[in-house]
């Protein structure tokens, strides 16, 4: 389990991933996104081979998710699973995307993110998927597309009753927006967002997301280092 997930208070996205030989060499997000697809009884029935190398574990988890998705689709028919149980559909798609990410299947990860974005609840776009897609655009050098996506999702995250300006989700979106703008060589504009981020961090201990401050500070410092290195390499 991640250090932040162990701390109080608990938030809906915190999940107690088991501390054992199967999960310990996988990223926390892999375990969280996989396990939230299943009930405790269902998890107990899944055989987890602790002796597998990390890559083989990821392939195994991907196969289990595919089988689960197919089974749920059949049970929901003739109604698509997306319409019969959107939350189950969303959890499974997110877990599949996460497995593809750590297997290095960037194209498949992006395909799933696009599918989730275009097929949100109640016929709307999915804002959480929009954030993920924006991150992928930035990572793959599609900086204008990354900027556009984060400009769409950041106000939504800041206004969401469970999130807000200093939530890890909104800070992640702000971080991605700053990087997307910086890498379009609009440094002054990006610097303004970086200073805004710094100001949020300075007051984070006073808010409800204080337990994430150390992690967010590390991510902020990593971003600043990354952007300075990027500027140096591009001869600016």
Task: For residue range 82-133, list pLDDT tens digits in order.
Answer: 999 999 999 999 999 999 999 999 999 999 999 999 998 888 888 888 999 9
Residues 167-190 have a mean pLDDT of 94
Three-state SS at 28:
helix
Q: What's the CA gap between 105 and 34, in Å, rounded?
A: 17
Average pLDDT score over residue span 51-64 = 96
Task: Give tens-digit pLDDT for 110-122.
Answer: 999 999 999 988 8
Q: What is the pLDDT of residue 11?
A: 80
DSSP secondary structure letters along 32-77: HHHHTTS-HHHHHTS---TTS-HHHHHHHHHHHHHHHHHHHHHHHT
Q: Report which secondary-structure segment, H or E, holds 163.
A: none
- The C-alpha angle 66, 31, 90, rounded to 5 degrees, equals 50
pLDDT in tens, 196-210: 999 999 999 888 999
- Contact residues for 29 (Cβ-Cβ < 8 A; gap 6+): 98
Rounded mean pLDDT of 51-78? 96
Categorize the per-residue pLDDT at 74 as very low, low, confident or very high, splitting at 50, 70 and 90: very high
pLDDT tens per residue, range 10-33: 788 778 889 899 999 999 999 999
Distances (CA, A) of 143 to 11, 56, 76, 172, 197: 31, 33, 39, 16, 19
| Rounded distance between C-alpha atoms, residue 131 and residue 187, angstroms | 22
Q: What are the structure tokens assigned to 67, written together?
A: 């089988």
């Amino acid at each position: 389990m991640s250090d932040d997930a162990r701390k109080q208070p608990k938030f809906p996205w915190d999940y107690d991933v088991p501390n054992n030989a199967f999960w310990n060499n996988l990223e926390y997000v892999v375990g969280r996104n996989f396990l939230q697809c299943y009930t405790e009884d269902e998890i107990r029935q899944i055989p987890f081979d602790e002796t597998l190398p990390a890559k083989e574990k990821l392939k195994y988890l991907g196969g289990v998710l595919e089988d689960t998705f197919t089974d749920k689709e059949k049970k929901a028919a003739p109604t698509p699973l997306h319409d019969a149980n959107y939350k189950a559909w969303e959890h499974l798609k997110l877990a599949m995307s996460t497995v593809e990410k750590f297997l290095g299947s960037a194209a498949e990860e992006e395909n799933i993110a696009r599918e989730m974005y275009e097929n949100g609840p109640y016929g709307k776009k999915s804002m959480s998927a929009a954030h993920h897609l924006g991150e992928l655009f930035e990572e793959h050098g599609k900086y204008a597309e990354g900027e556009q996506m984060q400009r769409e999702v950041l106000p939504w995250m800041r206004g969401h009753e469970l999130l807000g300006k200093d939530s890890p989700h909104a800070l992640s979106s702000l971080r991605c927006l700053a990087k997307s703008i910086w890498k379009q060589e609009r440094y002054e504009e990006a610097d303004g967002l970086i200073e805004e981020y710094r100001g949020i961090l300075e007051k984070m201990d006073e808010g409800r997301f204080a337990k994430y401050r150390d992690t967010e500070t590390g991510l902020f410092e990593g971003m600043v280092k990354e952007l300075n290195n990027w500027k140096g390499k591009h001869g600016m």
